């Protein structure tokens, strides 16, 4: 069963760090070096009507969420990344049973919690999952098909963001001023966007491979991008050999996809190649312990 998504304020989590999404495996996070939640309630949700996940000012809140979704958040893996095998080894119930999660810090830790980076907040969630779900994972790096985001012939059509266009997140982890909004696939506006973060964002938009920034651009940019909605992965058929690194096929009839429009509007280009991709492997997971 899939529930309607009502609130998922996680875009900055996925994009803000622009680093390896598997910075820590559960077995390598040190409880001595990482703060923990003072109290945590995890209860089954037998009739989920909506899904919500967010780090709050005093902890973490999840409503109608699966352990699969919690793992993705804890390790900074975009949801769509599961489509190309970034998460492996999960038992079926991990994506079928729903829970309500409420974790809070001790009041005395409030000021320090506000200063934690997003990686540190994720590590706190990793420790919670290890404790209550007996979650054990490890990461491996394999070579797989990817897209490289590069500068197109003719150069980039980007303007560096002005100071008043930067929107620092209230949670550390969005320090690059990332503020991306999109109502549907096909329309996005970025304000103070790094190319590392933009590449990760592109990888969440239905393309069939992870996207890695190879532009060499280090500034923050403000821009808009529009493209024809549709099945973006059709530009590189899954029936093709995964090792193929040649040119991307022409636009299908009916409009220009993101592959065309990113070059036309931004002076950037997605090109197929192969490269290292990190995979998170679930070794063990159990139903949560009682509160």
**pLDDT value for 271:** 94
Q: What is the pLDDT of residue 246?
A: 52
The predicted pLDDT at position 234 comes to 38
d(CA 118, CA 74): 10
Q: What is the pLDDT of residue 30?
A: 52
- pLDDT (tens, 9 = 90+) of the chain, 291 residues, equals 434 444 444 433 333 333 444 544 444 555 556 789 999 999 999 999 999 999 999 999 999 999 999 999 999 887 765 556 788 999 999 999 999 999 999 988 888 898 888 889 999 999 999 999 999 999 999 998 999 999 999 999 998 888 776 665 444 444 444 444 444 557 788 888 889 988 988 887 767 788 999 999 999 898 888 887 554 443 443 334 444 555 455 554 555 788 899 999 999 999 999 999 889 999 999 999 877
Which residues, in sequence order, are CB contacts of 180 under 8 Å at separation 6+? 11, 15, 188, 189, 190, 191, 193, 197, 201
- pLDDT attached to residue 34: 77
């Amino acid at each position: 069963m899939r529930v309607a998504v009502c609130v998922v304020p996680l875009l900055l989590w996925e994009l803000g760090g622009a680093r390896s999404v598997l910075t820590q495996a559960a077995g390598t996070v040190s409880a001595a070096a990482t703060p923990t939640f003072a109290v945590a309630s995890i209860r089954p949700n037998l009739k989920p009507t909506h899904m919500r996940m967010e780090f709050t000012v005093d902890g973490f809140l999840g409503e109608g969420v699966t352990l699969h979704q919690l793992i993705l958040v804890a390790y900074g893996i975009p949801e769509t990344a599961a489509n190309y095998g970034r998460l492996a080894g999960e038992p079926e119930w991990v994506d079928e049973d729903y829970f309500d999660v409420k974790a809070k810090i001790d009041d005395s830790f409030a000021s320090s919690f506000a200063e934690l980076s997003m990686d540190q907040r994720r590590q706190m969630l990793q420790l919670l999952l290890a404790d209550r779900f007996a979650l054990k994972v490890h990461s491996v790096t394999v070579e797989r098909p990817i897209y490289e985001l590069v500068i197109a012939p003719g150069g980039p059509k980007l303007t560096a963001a002005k100071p008043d266009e930067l929107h620092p997140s209230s949670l550390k982890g969005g320090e690059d001023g990332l503020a991306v909004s999109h109502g549907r696939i096909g329309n996005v506006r970025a304000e103070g966007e790094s190319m590392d973060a933009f590449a990760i964002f592109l990888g969440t938009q239905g393309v069939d491979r992870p996207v890695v920034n190879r532009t060499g651009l280090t500034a923050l940019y403000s821009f808009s991008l529009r493209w024809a909605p549709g099945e973006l992965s059709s530009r590189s058929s899954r029936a093709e050999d995964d090792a193929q690194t040649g040119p991307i096929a022409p636009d299908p009839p009916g409009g220009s996809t993101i592959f065309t429009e990113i070059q036309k509007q931004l002076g950037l280009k997605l090109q197929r190649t192969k490269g290292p991709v990190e995979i998170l492997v679930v070794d063990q997971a159990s139903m949560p312990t009682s509160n």
